[in-house]
Structure 1
Amino acid sequence: MDYKSTLHMPKTDFEMRGNLAKKEPGILKEWEENGHYQKILEHHKDEKPFILHDGPPYANGNLHAGTAMNRCIKDFIVRSHAMEGFYTPFFPGWDTHGLPIENAIQRSGVDRKSMSASEFRQLCETYAKEQIKTQMATEKRLGQVADYDHPYITLQKSFEARQIRCFEKMALDGLIFQGLKPIYWSPYNETAIADSEIFYKDVKDATIFVKFPVADGKGILDQDDSFVIWTTTPWTIPSNEAVCLNPDLVYAEVQTEQGKLIFLESMTEQLLQRFHLENQGVLRTFKGSELELITYHHVVLDKECPVILGDHVTDEDGTGCVHTAGGHGLDDYYACMKYGIPPICTVDERGYMNEEAGPECQGLTFEDCSKKIITMMNEKGLLLAVETMVHSYPHDDRLKKKVIFRAAKQWFCSIEKIREAVLDQIQNHVTWHNEWGQIRMYNMIKDRGDWCISRQRLWGVPIPIFYCEDGSPIMEKEVFDHVADLVEEFGSNVWFEREAKDLLPEGYTNPKSPNGIFTKESDIMDVWFDSGSSWNELEARGGDYPCDLYFEGSDQYRGWFNSSMIVGTAVKGRSPYKEVLSHGYVVDSKGEKMSKSVGNVVNPMDIINTNGADVFRLWAMVSDYKQDLKLGDSNIKQVSEQ
């Protein structure tokens, strides 16, 4: 019997397969034509608002899988609140200033130094807008419902003007200052690097133990005594300004074939073994405090330097006698400042030793200088040991290359003056949905030094400072207001198109410039100041301060969450967000970090074009986003078959 003829199946136009990749564009087009986003807002216009402030992705290259995942989950959060009856405006944002775009323009064959700053900046702006267009198309294809007709973009005139007004408020409140301090510096990009752009990687370097011969023993030590220092950065020896001892630790004067050496008593046998020297007797011991202000001969330059004291010196490694270069380390800087010793810097912005390093080192790269110093110390009979060690060293997260600590005149935001207020916000006024989030953020602010906000680049918002003839900076409300008004009308390029006198208020005078001559700052602001002031956009669009939620990757505790908290508290007196939620990284199907060099990068558009956006969204929805999320063919296949 033919059972087929006995079956009465319903006739329907409903297809057996979803064909999402083909059908979704039509649905999205219908949403756009019907004003789907605007209708959702209209339906809830009189209800309580819920505002998720968008952390702006960087406008460079295609939208990567992590940002696509972030966009999906934000869409779930916003739409679910709309379904619960909240008024949910959502403004997508883009971060558009900074070094990656400058590098992209130069890689295209543009010679930055062959054109004016204004012309180069115009190329950067055009490039950034093209990147936004590409990324926006991907976001829309993902099905995110948002106000794409009115995104906030950090290169917009209104955004830049509001950012300058934030700077103004902080400057007039005494939170902005100029100083010469050691900061992370990229010699390859010739600019300061933000703390949040640093990662540490194990590297193998030469370390050296060197004798610093006593010059004036102050009746305590003899001229044939030598302090023994240890350093992992021999290139900083020309910058040496002091030897730092711990005031409470005990130091020994030890007779050896190399003369009388001064180092920690507790490390005597260990150090002599490393130097291959015989202990011919401990002659005397001293507390570190007894040796304060004894001087020694600088081993590269013709000068004497003092012995100073510092609690940061430990007996855990080294010799207890710390080679101190105030221009190349924060501990060294603070120790020197207590004694009125200003920092010096013997390396230029490109990583080459300058004339202050002495004739034998001048012109060498900092890495070649390390080799030269080892040779010089050996020839002078001052080298006790050379060893190779693996240690953790800071690198630029973008270039993956070494950075250096280098003293440079920079603009800073004082963290010390607002630290307690910020810590109070973290502890008592923000809900942290990741249980470890509050502790991480608290510790970062508790231990953070002053924020270096200046960058030696062109593509960004200028630091709106003028200088008088005597070099003093002008920090006056009238001037700041005038610059902000100019930027609001013409954009920040006006700073680079006009001379200082044409940027100042008409008829402006200053007693420190009797000849009426003024100059302007050439540095731009750290891009984290840009995005850190982006909460301004919500207020400008009628939203409340603070907003309800910030939601980004876990790396933003040291990035956007951090800079927003600092700028918001400094300007408004409280955190710009009520709640914080973070997600993990998107990794490949094996749990490995995605990398172009490895070839395991997943382009979300490849998934969308093959499986449809809803499959990608479903993957984001069912994954435990607080952990790292695995993404690959196997993960998508598993989701698509559910």
Structure 2
Amino acid sequence: MLRASPAVWLPRRAWRWARWMATSGANRSEKARPDARYRETVLLPRSDFPVQLPGRLQPETELEIQQKCGFSELYSWQRQRKTKQGFCLHDGPPYANGDPHVGHALNKISKDITNRFYVMQGYTVHYVPGWDCHGLPIELKALSELEEKQHLSAMEIRQRAKKFAQNVIEKQKSAFIRWGIMADWDNSYYTFDRRYEAKQLNVFHQMYDKGYIYQDYKPVFWSPSTNTALAEAELEYNQQHISRSVYVRFPLLKPPPKLASLIDGTQAISLIVWTTQPWTIPANQAVCYMPNSEYSIVKCTDTGEHFIVAADRVQSTAAILDTEFDVISTCKGVDLESGTCSHPTIPGKQSPLLPANHVTMSKGTGLVHTAPAHGMEDYSVASHHQLPMDCLVDEGGHFTEAAGSELQNKAVLEEGNETVIQMLQAAKNLLKEEKYTHSYPYDWRTKKPVIIRASKQWFINTANLKAAAQEALKKVKCVPASGMNRMLEMLDRRTYWCISRQRCWGVPIPVFYHKTTGESLINRKSIENVIKIVEQHGSDAWWTLPIEQLLPGEALAKVGAHDVQDYVPGQDVLDIWFDSGTSWAYVLEDVGERADLYLEGKDQLGGWFQSSLLTSVATRKKAPYKTLVVHGFTLGEKGEKMSKSIGNVIDPDVVINGGNDHSTEPPYGADTLRWWVAESNVFTEVLIGPAVLNSARDDINKLRNTLRFLLGNLAGFNPETDAVPIADMYVIDQYMLHLLQGYANKVTNAYKEYDYGKVIRLLQAFHNRELSSFYFSIVKDRLYCEEEKDPKRRSCQTALAEVLDTLVRSFAPILPHLSEEVFQYLPFRKESDSVFRSGWMNTSPVWKKPGLEEAVEGACAMRDAFLGSIAGRNALEHQVVLVIEPGLLFELMEVLQQEESSSTSQLNEIMMASQTSLLTEAPRDVIADENIIKGTFLINLEGGDIREESSYKVIVLPAAKSKCLRCRKYTADSPETPCARCMEILSGK
């Protein structure tokens, strides 16, 4: 037996008797109770199961349960079972760069609830936990304590990064195990494992062979703070970013031919262009217009200058420039074709006017400054018109020598921006500067702004993959369904995926470069050789082995080269989304490379879900998953983002074990954390804080109270020898099994729908309403006061045993510690009994009895009328007369009570009175009309084929007899002696 708190349980028998007396309407102030001699004859609940585990007892008990009940062996045990059905949940790898947090708890516990449910359903579960181990954040943290970072070799950085990741993995793994996560912990996968890396490069190889991977010079998101290219999934958007926006004059140098006659003789005309990135002006190669929109030639009333702006933006532009414009004439955008402007900062340079469909009229002037090296749409325009795409910004975000001596070495987002503005001013081409607040991309690691910068990178052509990926997604179920729409939208916008990173902590892109020409060398022979080397030695070999081993002669021969010394290995590594996105190739190898479920946060719709889909569709033409479940993020209990500065960060370890001050940070245990996860609507944002955790703990304690009642009343009962056949059970007990069957079906369906919040709601409704408030209050007299082995009492215990078993199994995936703890206290427990090793809820279709439901619910309707009329008073002080017109309702009540009046019938038990009479006519001696409650009950049987509405009267009268000293019912002939029922039982004792 596990330890129970003495403070809670001693002295046991006296405490239990006092509790029962209080609930039976006994007067606590009685000093000399004549009923004291009958205490020992009442069968009160007996169990050492504690109603709550205060202080450190909760986490300590959970650890004992984990050890005693074999939590660590459960995964391997279920893998060894011979079952036809399998269930595979592929674990999205958490990032190995920090302590475990509540986001991890939300994710891992949701997965564990799912896996435990399927284990209990009899499936063989495949769940291999993993970690994402490469990437810049790990590299940065591993080097954060070093002063001389720049002198480290690539291998020194890699060794430090790997060691850092390994330490984090051990901390996270320890926490996940403490939360009760069942997994193959001995065979976890790590993206730095050499076999994993080899599988990843094999996927790269296949995608390269099929033409999906290519190298190109184009603009990408670039992080000056970390000197590397970024993918869209690595960006965060700061909604409050402030830019120095400018309105710039582009003097018209060569008028468009179609406007030549219109503006002939007019003094100088300029185009007005608006940009939020002044630092890109030196790289300007064109000004774009929308061909189908209208443009106006305007005259400034203050200066007399002439400008061209979009017709729709005339008024707004004039207002921003604090002036007025007179419209001279209006033309179509196409009329601007073949015009040329002077560059606003570089004398003698020209910028052509070009048509482009990305120009909008929602803001700005309808004329767009185009710098191909610094914009995705700009790049498209430049490609079409063969414009130069020179990049004037280096990897650190500084202007290069090509930008001119005035700008060279200046950071483009800081003093470089300021210098460009000054240059515009000096050239008299700056019309207005103002601060502009807008959404702007930031590096998600450093939380600093990024830029768009053209560079030579490796890409996946997602435009060619998009249609196949979207088709594959149509065969995937998504919970909630809105997640699928979001993912399809993201795919639709994605034309390419930049997979190269300018770091050293990762899997190398297997490409070689000619020392002189810079030409890349990559082919089937070169990649296959690298894969073989990585499989044997790991990716470190790229930096440690000589070029002769890395680049074989066959690969050289394919490109007509002869000297291996002419080449060097490339220094770019693969994007970590490619790292994790190829996990299916390694982890799912022995389950058909397709998982039943991926379950992650909503950020993975554009991250792991998508990278996994693209790599799988490219190589196998199918998605790596059958179902996606998407959850939200964790927030403070007021809906605010968690941050250390606010002080609302919740540490899972503190939740489980308590903080320094248990009065403010009590130890809740892992099951409270798990209840919080299950109870939350995980498909939206999930709130957590002291109030939420206190509520979860209180809910579990209420459940424990119900469980203790069940355990206590099963003392001395063995289902194998004492169970009553269902046909012989009390109707109310059969009714409870009927309700239990419905509850079990609803709970099972909720688990299958991954709606664990619904499971919690069903559980609470059942144990609070159907059990505690209804059934328990009705059956106490039968349990406590009948003879121990009486069939009536055994009937109730038979129902209670089924209720306990079903109830515990229904919440076991959510509260594994509590469920196994309950099994430790089963009076009829066998040593081998374990919730998770003995299967799911085992209810019987025989329990479902619609006619039974009508009988009990008809009686309950009259019971509620009776109890409502005596609110606040003891029901046992009354007797009830039920007057029902002849018909179906009366016949159903006769099933519950054959005799006219009874204090021991099933009907009287439901009514909770001291005596119930069942009549077809009201007794003549009933005079007081105020004691009569009238009502009707509609009976609906066999799908509506039998419908009958019956009227009834409930007559409430004072009990005619004295209170029994033993059972507390008013059924005794004398206040000095027990009632006839109790006397008969006592005579046997």
TM surpasses 0.5: yes
Residue 584 of structure 1 corresponds to which residue in structure 2?
632
Cα deviation for residue 197 of structure 1 reads 2.1
- Does residue 174 (structure 1) correspond to residue 219 (structure 2)? The answer is no
Measure, in 2, the Cα distance between the counterparts of 1:258 and 1:519: 62
Measure, in 2, the Cα distance between the counterparts of 1:276 and 1:16: 74
Residue 104 of structure 1 corresponds to which residue in structure 2?
141
Which range is displaced more, 108-117 or 242-251?
Answer: 108-117
Cα deviation for residue 479 of structure 1 reads 1.2
- Does residue 224 (structure 1) correspond to residue 268 (structure 2)? The answer is yes
1:565-594 per-position Cα deviation (integer Å, ceiling 9, x unaligned): 111111111110011111111212222111
Cα deviation for residue 356 of structure 1 reads 2.4
Counterpart pick for 1:59 among 96, 103, 107: 96
Which range is displaced more, 404-413 or 296-305?
Answer: 296-305
Measure, in 1, the Cα distance between the counterparts of 2:537 and 2:276: 50
Residue 195 of structure 2 corresponds to which residue in structure 1?
158
Counterpart pick for 1:149 among 166, 172, 186: 186
Would the aligned equivalents of 1:183 and 1:452 in 2 still touch at CA under 8 Å? yes
Alignment-mate amino acid for residue 289 of structure 1: V
Residue 260 of structure 1 corresponds to which residue in structure 2?
306
Matches within 5 A, 1:71-470: 71-109=108-146, 111-200=148-237, 201-217=239-255, 220=260, 224-256=268-300, 257=303, 259-277=305-323, 279=325, 282=328, 284-302=329-347, 303-366=349-412, 367-426=414-473, 428-468=474-514, 470=517
Alignment-mate amino acid for residue 465 of structure 2: I
Alignment-mate amino acid for residue 248 of structure 2: V
Secondary structure at the counterpart of residue 509 of structure 1: helix
Which range is displaced more, 390-399 or 498-507?
Answer: 498-507
Unaligned runs of at least 5 residues, structure 1: none
1:435-481 per-position Cα deviation (integer Å, ceiling 9, x unaligned): 20111111110111200111111111111111245433223111111
Alignment-mate amino acid for residue 333 of structure 1: Y
Would the aligned equivalents of 2:524 and 2:555 in 1 still touch at CA under 8 Å? no
Matches within 5 A, 1:521-536: 521-536=570-585
- Does residue 617 (structure 1) correspond to residue 674 (structure 2)? The answer is yes
Which range is displaced more, 584-593 or 162-171?
Answer: 584-593
Measure, in 2, the Cα distance between the counterparts of 1:608 and 1:47: 38
Residue 715 of structure 2 corresponds to which residue in structure 1?
none
- Does residue 575 (structure 1) correspond to residue 623 (structure 2)? The answer is yes
Q: Specify which structure has the higher proportion of helix.
A: 2
1:587-642 per-position Cα deviation (integer Å, ceiling 9, x unaligned): 12222111123221111111111121112112222222222222122211111122
Alignment-mate amino acid for residue 25 of structure 1: L
Cα deviation for residue 27 of structure 1 reads 2.6
Cα deviation for residue 28 of structure 1 reads 2.3
Residue 643 of structure 2 corresponds to which residue in structure 1?
595
1:248-282 per-position Cα deviation (integer Å, ceiling 9, x unaligned): 22223334436332222343344334334454661
Measure, in 1, the Cα distance between the counterparts of 2:673 and 2:248: 60
Would the aligned equivalents of 1:418 and 1:570 in 2 still touch at CA under 8 Å? yes
Alignment-mate amino acid for residue 536 of structure 2: E
Residue 49 of structure 1 corresponds to which residue in structure 2?
86
Would the aligned equivalents of 2:286 and 2:352 in 1 still touch at CA under 8 Å? yes
Cα deviation for residue 70 of structure 1 reads 1.3
Counterpart pick for 2:541 among 482, 485, 494: 494
Q: Which has the higher contact order (CA 8 A, sep 6+)?
A: 1
Residue 547 of structure 1 corresponds to which residue in structure 2?
595
1:332-352 per-position Cα deviation (integer Å, ceiling 9, x unaligned): 111111101142222221121
* TM-score (norm: length of structure 2): 0.62
Cα deviation for residue 502 of structure 1 reads 2.9
* CA 69–316 in structure 1, closer or farther in 2 if over 3 Å, else same: closer
Would the aligned equivalents of 1:238 and 1:358 in 2 still touch at CA under 8 Å? no
Alignment-mate amino acid for residue 36 of structure 1: L
1:122-166 per-position Cα deviation (integer Å, ceiling 9, x unaligned): 111111111111100001101111100000111101111000001
Would the aligned equivalents of 1:470 and 1:513 in 2 still touch at CA under 8 Å? no
* CA 10–434 in structure 1, closer or farther in 2 if over 3 Å, else same: closer
* CA 155–5 in structure 1, closer or farther in 2 if over 3 Å, else same: farther
Would the aligned equivalents of 1:234 and 1:369 in 2 still touch at CA under 8 Å? no
Residue 27 of structure 1 corresponds to which residue in structure 2?
65
Alignment-mate amino acid for residue 417 of structure 2: S
Unaligned runs of at least 5 residues, structure 2: 1-31, 658-666, 700-989
* TM-score (norm: length of structure 1): 0.95
Measure, in 1, the Cα distance between the counterparts of 2:111 and 2:642: 22
Alignment-mate amino acid for residue 231 of structure 1: T
Measure, in 1, the Cα distance between the counterparts of 2:680 and 2:374: 45
Cα deviation for residue 224 of structure 1 reads 2.6
* CA 258–340 in structure 1, closer or farther in 2 if over 3 Å, else same: farther
Would the aligned equivalents of 2:588 and 2:595 in 1 still touch at CA under 8 Å? no
1:391-417 per-position Cα deviation (integer Å, ceiling 9, x unaligned): 221122222221111111111000111
Measure, in 2, the Cα distance between the counterparts of 1:270 and 1:598: 41
Measure, in 2, the Cα distance between the counterparts of 1:153 and 1:192: 24
Cα deviation for residue 37 of structure 1 reads 1.8
Alignment-mate amino acid for residue 271 of structure 1: T
Secondary structure at the counterpart of residue 575 of structure 1: coil
Would the aligned equivalents of 2:143 and 2:160 in 1 still touch at CA under 8 Å? no
**Bigger Rg, which one:** 2
Would the aligned equivalents of 1:429 and 1:578 in 2 still touch at CA under 8 Å? yes
Measure, in 2, the Cα distance between the counterparts of 1:195 and 1:582: 19
Secondary structure at the counterpart of residue 641 of structure 1: helix
Cα deviation for residue 199 of structure 1 reads 2.2
* CA 29–342 in structure 1, closer or farther in 2 if over 3 Å, else same: farther
Counterpart pick for 1:630 among 657, 670, 687: 687
Secondary structure at the counterpart of residue 373 of structure 1: helix
Would the aligned equivalents of 1:275 and 1:384 in 2 still touch at CA under 8 Å? yes
* CA 10–575 in structure 1, closer or farther in 2 if over 3 Å, else same: closer
Would the aligned equivalents of 2:631 and 2:683 in 1 still touch at CA under 8 Å? yes
Secondary structure at the counterpart of residue 40 of structure 1: helix
Would the aligned equivalents of 1:209 and 1:228 in 2 still touch at CA under 8 Å? yes
Alignment-mate amino acid for residue 193 of structure 2: Q
Measure, in 1, the Cα distance between the counterparts of 2:171 and 2:452: 37
Counterpart pick for 2:74 among 9, 20, 36: 36
Measure, in 2, the Cα distance between the counterparts of 1:279 and 1:615: 67
